[in-house]
Amino acid sequence: MKPDLQEKIKTRGYWRINFQPLVYQQKISSLGSCRDFVERHIVRLRGWDYPAFLRKNDEYSGLEPAADFYLGWVDWENHKEFWHMYQSGQFLHYLALREDWLEEGGWHRQLAEQIRTMSSLGIRGVVYQMTEVFEFLCRLAGAEIYEEGVRVSISLNNTQNRQLWIEDRMRAPFSRVYKTAASKIEFVKQRVSKSEAIGESKEMALQAITHFFDRFGWHNPTIETLKKDQNQLLSGKI
């Protein structure tokens, strides 16, 4: 991985996603199996997979073995992220907010002139991202590495004075500003059973979505609209 990628991601807004098995022991037989395990359970619902898994090893991306985990990373246009999959079954992911790197995205440079870096958080992006995170958790749990349960921790970082933004021009803009004073917002579920991870992924994603929006002062989003966005993503209709 690029030696400065983690520091680069941390300079702007980013997600930190962590799944920790409640019982730590070797769940995945080898480092190569860690890589294959991620590839088999990737969530492919839109133009960018969760988590990103690019087989090329070049200046923009790579897959690399480490001491007890496999590492995948990307630093290309406004996509900046890296993940670790440990033999214990722990998954750790740092994911830059794409709206903070629009000036590096070839398709988004015009939008970058309108959206100031570290000023906004796209609401549909949150819905899609959290739905993908919990769908990935569902798939990992179905592969029997969280038999004893899993702790889920998701934090959104460098958020102070950031405001919610409606990316879809077909939707009415907010009638007021929804902004947070928090520099970090965290959503934690200390104990998620295997059955909950598999059977309640959409519901848990919705809990996370509304939790983050609540910290921006958007206390009563229309739940049916959020569910509709979730369903369109999961059905491949976006």
Please report, for the chain, the start and end positions of each structural domain, with discontinuous segments joined by +: 14-234
Q: What is the Cα–Cα distance from 86 to 28, expressed in whole angstroms?
A: 8
Q: Would you place residue 142 in the very low, low, confident or very high pLDDT band (cuts 50, 70, 90)?
A: very high
Q: Tell me what percent of the residues of the chain surpass a pLDDT of 70.
A: 98
pLDDT confidence of residue 69? 97
Q: Which secondary structure element, helix H or strand E, spans residue 191, and what is its range?
A: strand 184-192
Average pLDDT over the chain, rounded to whole?
95
What confidence score (pLDDT) does residue 153 get? 98
The answer to whether the CB of 96 falls within 8 A of the CB of 9 is: yes
- The pLDDT assigned to 107 comes to 67
Weakest-pLDDT range from 37-51, 66-80, 93-107, 201-215? 93-107
CA–CA separation, 220 and 35 (whole Å): 40
Tokens found for residue 85: 């999959």
Would you say residue 56 has pLDDT above 90? no
- Can you give the pTM of this predicted structure? 0.96
How far apart CA 73 and CA 81 sit, in angstroms, is 6
Residue of 160, 145, 186, 154 whose CA lies nearest to 50: 154
Phi, psi of 35 (to 5 degrees): -60, -50
Question: For 58-115, what is each residue's pLDDT tens digit?
Answer: 999 999 999 999 999 999 999 999 999 999 999 999 999 999 999 887 766 678 778 8
- The residue length of the chain stands at 238
